[in-house]
Amino acid sequence: MQNYCNIVKNKLNMLIRNMEKNVSVFVVDPKRDFIRKSELSFSKTMRFILGMGSQTLSKKLMEFYGFDSKMVSVSAIVQRRAKILPTAFQHLFHKFNGPSHRQISLTVTGFMLWTVLIFLLFLMITALITTSMLIPRVTILCT
């Protein structure tokens, strides 16, 4: 299972890096946004946004940077987030859920799927045997 998690994570990171190579398509102002090298790159911003939970922005930043001194401010992340178009996330969603991801998913989870189906069949048979033993049989005698 851990191997599958790594495959999915690596695919997501690869897609984000590929998007960063053509960042002008995914930002509000292609001539200015994410052009200079900074601590909060396009890929780091995307990974941060995707990993956000229900905590406050400052707590998530502290977790993301591991309480490092290079941690950016909340204002910086809000400004960077505003520069990314919604189509960037749509593109990532469609690429991530494309045919190649389904292929990986089927090959890795195919074995698990059969295991689950066999287990469910086993439970159904066990339930049938158990319930048939519990139900008292009524015999009607014809006279």
Quick check: is 6 in a domain? yes
Quick check: is 51 in a domain? yes
- As for how many domains the chain has, the answer is 1
Cβ count near 84 (within 10 Å): 20
Quick check: is 71 in a domain? yes
Q: Is the model's pLDDT at 92 over the cut of 50?
A: yes
CA 118 from chain center: how many Å?
Answer: 27
Q: Is the model's pLDDT at 133 over the cut of 50?
A: no
pLDDT score of 18: 93
pLDDT (tens digit, 9 = 90+) per residue, 31-87? 998 888 888 899 999 888 888 877 888 888 888 888 777 788 899 989 998 999 988
Q: Which amino acid is at 111?
A: F
Quick check: is 58 in a domain? yes
Q: How far apart are CA 14 and CA 55, in angstroms?
A: 27
| pTM summary value | 0.64
Q: Is the model's pLDDT at 99 over the cut of 50?
A: yes
Q: How far apart are CA 36 and CA 55, in angstroms?
A: 30
Q: How far apart are CA 129 and CA 89, in angstroms?
A: 51
pLDDT score of 112: 54
